[in-house]
Amino acid sequence: MVASKDIEIQFRSTPKLLCDVRAVIRSYLTNHGVETDKVQEVVLAVDEACTNSIRHAYSGQDDKLVELSLGSGDGWIELELRDSGVPAPYDRIKRKTDEAIAAAALTPGGLGMHLIYSVFDDVTFTPGETQGNTILMRLRSA
Amino acid sequence: MALELSQVEQGNHCIVMAKGEIDLYSSPQLRDAILKACKAGKDKVGVNLSEVAYMDSSGVATLVEGLQASGGADSFLLVAPSQSVLKVLQLSRLDSVFTIVEQV
């Protein structure tokens, strides 16, 4: 992350906790003056990134750890998500064409990446060489 | 917020009423409820999404599955979707795929 970290949380890779993670993100963004509409979009996009870690990197194993950092500075709000699961293949994380987006609707991982790219001003996805994924999602703050 | 589901029958419609949040954790419950409604023997299946405060792409995928299971957009209706549901359908470029009605 470029911005200073304000909050860092670790959570177990279970879908049951996603609503709690969303609450943290929603609260942080609201307190940083992000408009309600944009808060909704960002919460959705980060939730999709968490879902990808649980479903794809960890293949649904619910006893692994996912880390989320939130920070702000220099006109940016940054959210970084890290897992230590299987690195994502390039095909799944690349930007999609409009036709491919609709076709991806039945594969949540694929649609999730589209939502992440749509919502943020800057996205850097770094799959590890042998293990783990880091996704840095950046939003210009007002 | 948990997801609460119920089923009501109105004329030739079987409607799944959803209330709460639809995500990776709760979308399997919605899937079961929609597939059950598809088997109710009515001409049309509807999903009332007016009280859904949050939906992610697993919810979208579940609705697409319902669309396919019920036989297509003529027989599968999204009823009064909340603003947050509409937003995720728009972001997914799928808002034109579904038949959206304000009431049945």
Residue numbers in B near A119 (CB within 8 A): 91
Let me know: does B10 contact B41? Beta carbons within 8 Å.
Answer: no
- DSSP 8-state symbol, A88: P
Parse chain B into domains and list their residue ranges.
4-101
Is A21 in the B-facing interface, judged by CB distances under 8 Å?
no
Please give the average pLDDT of every successive group of 10 residues along chain A, which has 142 residues.
90 97 97 95 96 95 98 95 95 77 60 89 95 97 79
Please, which residues have CB within 8 angstroms of residue A112's CB and are 6 or more apart in sequence?
Answer: A48, A49, A51, A52, B56, B57
Burial (CB count <10 Å: 0-12, 13-18, 19+), residue B94: buried
Residue numbers in A near B65 (CB within 8 A): 106
Given this model, what pLDDT does residue A95 score? 82
Let me know: does A131 contact A65? Beta carbons within 8 Å.
Answer: no
Nearest to A85 by CA among A41, A105, A55, A113: A55
Is A102 in the B-facing interface, judged by CB distances under 8 Å?
yes
Structural domains of chain A, with CATH: 4-140 (3.30.565.10)
For A90, half-sphere exposure in the C-beta direction (CA atoms, 13 angstrom radius) is 1
Residue numbers in A near B54 (CB within 8 A): 22, 43-44
Which value does ipTM take for this structure? 0.86
Q: What are B's interface residues with A at a Cβ cutoff of 8 A? A: 1, 21, 23-25, 54, 56-58, 60-61, 64-65, 84, 87-88, 91-94, 97
Given this model, what pLDDT does residue A114 score? 87
Using DSSP's 3-state secondary structure scheme, residue B72 falls into coil
Find out if CATH 3.40.1190.20 is the number for domain B4-101.
no
Residue A53 has φ and ψ, to the nearest 5°, of -60, -45
Tens of pLDDT along B4-63? Answer: 999 999 999 999 999 999 999 999 999 999 999 999 999 999 999 999 999 999 999 999
